[in-house]
Amino acid sequence: MKQENSIIQGDCVAVLADLLKEQGGKGFADLIFADPPFNIGYEYDEYHDKVDHEEYVGWTKKWMKACVNALSDHGSFWIAIGDDYAAEVRIVARELKLVMRNWIIWYYTFGQSTRKKFARSHTHIFYFVKDKKNFVFNDEAIRVPSARQTTYNDKRAHPKGKVPDDTWILRPQEVTEAFEPGEDTWHISRVCGTFKERAGFHGCQMPEKLLARIIETVTNPGHLVLDPFSGSGTTVVVANSLGRRFIGIELSEQYVAQSKSRLKDSESLFDTGS
């Protein structure tokens, strides 16, 4: 593709339509990872993140349909979304004939501070495919030791371990004696302001470790990874480091410029083996 391995500035629905036209109407993305605005009033550079319910749902239908059109027949479509619209995303996906493989709960190691309700400390991550029989899932890339192996010495255990659960959880102080966080869960924190990997220009940065696990699981080297809400550029940075082709789409000209700089810096580190 002409614009692969780049971050494109523009509205994702329009850009995806142009890319699809360029490909003769044939889906081209092997993985689409979308982390859209949650409609909770967050202050983005260009996008107003608080619109009427009907407007937000209507927009969600548009961008999800555009993504499905751009998805290859064997492709995977992952969506991160908050509580307020998780149900709507699931309904839209059903309308688009997507097959849900998992409804994952990503449990942060710390949540938001609240006074009059329980602190919210999770995000929903949907994993969809177009074809329930034709998709990539590299289970050996993510297998971990199972309790059958580590605790019960059960001969029925798979020698290479088990596929992790669909709840990515556990803070260190809540781990029981049965297993450690890395053995059966996705123990992944949000990217805090003090973290070394924090880019600094985007408040909703996804952890690189989380994207790496997803990309390694559902794509092979050389496959194309697309992020329609590229933001801080984490998806394209990780895809590039893992030998995947990539396309990022971002509405904000400022975020595009800064994420391109982040991508360039990461390539320098990758080239030097750092």
For the chain, give the secondary structure using H, E and C: CCCCCEEEECCHHHHHHHHHHHCCCCCCEEEEEECCCCCCCCECCCCECCCCHHHHHHHHHHHHHHHHHHEEEEEEEEEEECHHHHHHHHHHHHHCCCEEEEEEEEECCCCCCCCCCCCCCEEEEEEEECCCCCCCCCHHHCCECCHHHHCCCCCCCCCCCECCCCEECCCHHHCCCCCCHHHHCCCCCCCCCCCCCCCCCCCCCCCHHHHHHHHHHHCCCCCEEEECCCCCCHHHHHHHHCCCEEEEEECCHHHHHHHHHHHHHHHHHHHHCC
Residue 56 lies in a domain: yes
Q: What is the pTM of this model?
A: 0.84
Residue 147 lies in a domain: no
Residue 157 lies in a domain: no
Residue 105 lies in a domain: yes
Query: Residue 252 has what pLDDT?
Result: 92
- For 114, the domain range is 6-136+188-272
**pLDDT per residue of the chain (274 residues) written in tens, 0 to 9:** 889 999 999 999 999 999 999 999 999 999 999 999 999 876 767 678 789 999 999 999 999 999 999 999 999 999 999 999 999 999 999 999 999 999 998 887 655 677 888 877 788 999 999 999 999 999 999 888 887 777 788 888 888 888 988 887 644 443 333 334 443 344 454 444 444 444 444 445 688 888 998 999 999 999 999 999 999 899 999 999 999 999 999 999 999 999 999 999 887 655 544 4
The per-residue pLDDT for range 47-72, each reduced to its tens digit, is 787 899 999 999 999 999 999 999 99
Residue 142 lies in a domain: no
The per-residue pLDDT for range 168-219, each reduced to its tens digit, is 764 444 333 333 444 334 445 444 444 444 444 444 568 888 899 899 999 9
Residue 149 lies in a domain: no
Residue 41 lies in a domain: yes
- Domain count for the chain: 1
Q: 122: domain CATH number?
A: 3.40.50.150
Residue 34 lies in a domain: yes
